[in-house]
Amino acid sequence: MKRVVLSTTMLVMLGLAFAPGAHADKKKISPNTVSGAKTVNAQQAKKLFDQGVVFVDVRSDKDFAAGRIPDAIHIELKKVYSKNTLSEHVKPGQKVVIYCNGHSCLRSAKASEQAVSWGYKNVYYFRDGYPAWKKSGYPVE
């Protein structure tokens, strides 16, 4: 009887392991838009950069140290980003571009959403982020 129970248990576990969707890719994708913010691509972000708009990098310390958009303000989302830290660099009426590591990074979407909730009216959500900037051949530090 123990063998039957053990065999049945093993079959059920194997069936679950190989069931469609059992190991579906749970990779999160950033939203295309953030309510109250304007989504920009690399070319549009570059135009804003050329106008002197403040860029805020919300990536990890390690990613920021590895390379960034020149003169970007680093406000690490999970440790430092807040209404106070953002307002030290950007006032609610100023334009601000917020970016992270592209489509698989949710940080810029969250940071943009928070900035809008704090009363920022000119938030540019650079969804494609640093990878697209670099791929476009734009300057990096």
pLDDT in tens, 49-78: 999 999 999 999 999 999 999 999 999 999
Alpha carbons 58 and 115: distance in angstroms, whole number: 12
Confidence of residue 28 (pLDDT cuts 50, 70, 90): confident
For the ranges 14-18, 54-58, 119-123, 135-139, the lowest mean pLDDT is seen at 14-18
- Reduced to 3 states (helix: H, G, I; strand: E, B; else coil), residue 38 is strand
- List, for residues 90-101, the tens digit of each pLDDT value: 999 999 999 999
Residue 12 has pLDDT above 90, yes or no: no
pTM of the shown model: 0.81
Q: Report residue 21: phi and psi, to 5°.
A: 85, 0
- Of how many residues is the chain composed? 141
Is 43 a residue whose pLDDT tops 80?
yes
Task: Return the closest-CA partner of residue 138 out of 34, 18, 48.
Answer: 48
At 93, the amino acid letter reads: G
Q: Give the pair of three-digit tokens for residue 102.
A: 């592209």
What is the CATH code for 26-135?
3.40.250.10
Q: Where are the alpha helices (DSSP H) in 23-128?
A: 42-50, 61-66, 83-87, 107-117
